[in-house]
């Protein structure tokens, strides 16, 4: 990407990246545990609580890094 394009992006340097996990409740919980064991997330507190997703039968959690 060029510098001109990067200047147009509405993201500041202080914004944190997010990883969205969407699936069944069991899939989301398994992925949270897997991220913790593989040390992608250093603490489970960095995940939002598991909530219903806007898709039928799906749940979601967000990891803010």
Non-local CB neighbours of 23 within 8 Å, separated by 6+ positions: 31, 58, 59
| Rounded Cα distance, 21 and 63, in Å | 8
Average pLDDT, consecutive stretches of 10 residues, N- to C-terminus, the chain (65 residues): 59 77 97 95 92 94 90
| Rounded Cα distance, 50 and 16, in Å | 20
Which residues in 21-48 are b (16+ Cβ under 10 Å) and which e?
Answer: bebeeeebbebbeebbeeeebeeeebbe
Beta carbons of 59 and 26 less than 8 angstroms apart: no
pTM confidence score? 0.74
Residue 10: per-residue pLDDT: 63
């Amino acid at each position: 990407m060029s510098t001109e394009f990067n200047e147009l992006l509405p993201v500041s340097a202080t914004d944190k990246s997010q990883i969205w996990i969407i699936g069944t409740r069991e899939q989301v919980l398994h992925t949270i545990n897997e991220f913790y064991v593989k040390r992608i997330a250093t603490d489970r507190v960095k995940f939002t609580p598991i909530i219903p997703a806007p898709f039928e039968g799906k749940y979601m959690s967000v990891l803010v890094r």
